[in-house]
């Protein structure tokens, strides 16, 4: 999964590296932008789906549980 | 401190609500963008300075220690 490279479309703007949705698409659809404890950002739906399969960060593969991420407000 | 309102310059882009520097200015100067556990973003320098005065989030005033924030990578 090349999540990290695809996320870097425009530095300083936010998109989900899994579904590639922009910040606007994420919030307009009622999802949240979430950050893992390791500092990687996703839309809430993609991270939830990923954690149901594997307890690791999709970007850096560090161990990650449901308690180790939080929404960010921007 | 009206940190929250000034931060909302452009939805989906990142700036520090304290110094108002953009994402580009933050990283070009060697600072990090950090997120608190409560989900509020700052440049690393401003949050460090603020925590040396008060153990609360500058945006929402929730209790916040040096261990309750982390860099984000975007
Ligand atoms: Zn997504
Ligand atoms: Zn990670
Ligand atoms: Zn700052
Ligand atoms: Zn806060």
> B72 falls in which pLDDT band (50, 70, 90)?
very high
Residues in B closer than 8 angstroms to A27, CB to CB, are 11
Q: What would the DSSP string read from start to end of A25-53?
A: HHHHTT--EEEETTSBEEEHHHHHHHHHH
Residues in B closer than 8 angstroms to A13, CB to CB, are 12-14, 74
* Residues whose beta carbons lie less than 5 angstroms from ion ligand 1: A 16, 18-19, 43, 46
User: pTM of the entire structure?
Assistant: 0.81
CA distance A9 to chain B (A): 9
Task: Check A12 against B11: CB less than 8 A apart.
Answer: no
> Alpha carbon of B37 to those of A11, A19, A30, A64, B53: distances in Å?
23, 24, 21, 15, 18
Residues in A closer than 8 angstroms to B7, CB to CB, are 74
> B10 falls in which pLDDT band (50, 70, 90)?
low
**Location of structure tokens 């580009």:** B24
Q: What is the dihedral of CA A65, A67, A70, B1, to 10 degrees?
A: -150
- Nearest by CB: A13 against B12, B71, B73: B12
pLDDT tens column, A12-46: 789 999 999 999 999 999 999 999 999 999 999 99
Q: What is the dihedral of CA A62, A66, A67, A68, to 10 degrees?
A: 30
């Amino acid at each position: 999964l090349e999540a990290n490279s695809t996320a870097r479309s425009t530095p300083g703007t936010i998109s989900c590296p899994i579904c590639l949705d922009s910040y606007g698409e994420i919030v307009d659809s009622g999802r949240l932008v979430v950050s893992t404890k390791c500092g990687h950002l996703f839309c809430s739906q993609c991270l939830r789906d990923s954690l149901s399969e594997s307890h690791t960060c999709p970007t850096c593969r560090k161990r990650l549980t449901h308690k180790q991420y939080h929404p960010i407000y921007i």
